[in-house]
């Protein structure tokens, strides 16, 4: 992955840093892991799928490593970070990307569906952020404070039929991100979120295998009328992880092709 390393401020800022990306076996998480590695970052690929994480880490090569994690469970998240400290002596960048969604009418939702979305999408971010923040407060130096980037969604600003529960969980991500950012800002630790729009990934939440749903989604995107790619989201994550965004905290960066314009 070292071939084609970009030459520029972000590459200089990030080279030699250590990052962990959750939900990195596929889709947006995989793209973020690849983009960070291309900028000289040692990347830990974390995912519920041990095989998927191992495959991506092998693709990245270099210092990349794979970790299995269930972001819903505190002992699992604690073990993930402990493994990083043991292997690398610490970490500098945390990308809390793991997320899920199901589709169902609000009146038909089961408790299991509601809990599944909230347990992964917001409890997972809470646990990942909290443990990382404790480490950053205790261990980081004046020169390297630590960065947290959370993955939200267009659904965190625009509710949609069949996704009310998913949308609610992603709204919670933004509230948590802003609150944590205010607490950590005096210590120089930055916390931001990315809100991807409709992205062409393997996750079927928007019916990627349903032509009619895809066409409906494209019609809502002014910029080109096409779904975003994971790489387009990843470039924003790299920016937020780098010193190029050193005055940015508590923000949500919308990457959605103009589908939502605040």
Looking at the annotation, which residues are catalytic? 166
Q: Which residues is 199 bridged to in the sheet?
A: 228
Q: Which residues is 44 bridged to in the sheet?
A: 20, 65
SS3 annotation, the chain: CCCCCCCCHHHHHHCCCEEEEECCCCHHHHHHHHHHHHCCCEEEEEECCHHHHHHHHHHHCCCCEEEECCCCCHHHHHHHHHHHHHHHCCCCEEEECCCCCCCCCHHHCCHHHHHHHHHHHHHHHHHHHHHHHHHHHHHCCCCCCCEEEEECCHHHCCCCCCCHHHHHHHHHHHHHHHHHHHHHHHHCCEEEEEEECCECCCCHHHCCCCHHHHHHHHCCCCCCCCCECHHHHHHHHHHHHCHHHCCCCCCEEEECCCCCCC
Q: Are 160 and 167 in contact (CB under 8 A)?
A: yes
d(CA 70, CA 86): 19
């Amino acid at each position: 992955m070292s071939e084609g390393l970009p030459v520029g401020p972000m590459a200089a800022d990030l080279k030699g840093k250590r990052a962990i990306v959750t939900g990195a076996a596929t889709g947006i998480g995989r793209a973020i892991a690849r983009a960070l590695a291309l900028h000289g970052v040692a990347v830990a690929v974390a995912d519920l799928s041990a095989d998927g994480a191992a495959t991506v880490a092998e693709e990245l090569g270099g210092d990349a490593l794979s970790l299995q994690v269930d972001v819903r469970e505190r002992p699992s998240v604690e073990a993930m970070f402990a493994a990083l400290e043991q292997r690398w002596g610490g970490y500098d960048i945390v990308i809390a990307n793991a997320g899920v969604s199901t589709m169902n009418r609000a009146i038909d939702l089961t408790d299991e569906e509601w809990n599944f979305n909230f347990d992964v999408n917001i409890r997972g971010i809470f646990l990942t952020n909290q443990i990382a923040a404790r480490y950053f407060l205790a261990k980081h130096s004046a020169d390297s404070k630590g960065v947290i980037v959370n993955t939200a969604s267009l659904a965190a600003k625009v509710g949609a039929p069949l996704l009310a529960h998913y949308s609610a969980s992603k709204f919670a991500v933004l509230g948590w991100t802003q609150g944590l950012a205010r607490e950590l800002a005096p210590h120089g630790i930055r916390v931001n979120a990315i809100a991807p729009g409709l992205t062409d990934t393997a996750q079927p939440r928007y019916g990627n295998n349903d032509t009619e749903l895809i066409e409906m989604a494209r019609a809502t995107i002014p910029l080109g009328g096409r779904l975003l790619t994971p790489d387009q989201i990843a470039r924003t994550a790299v920016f937020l992880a780098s010193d190029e965004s050193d005055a940015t905290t508590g923000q949500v960066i919308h990457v959605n092709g103009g589908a939502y314009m605040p």
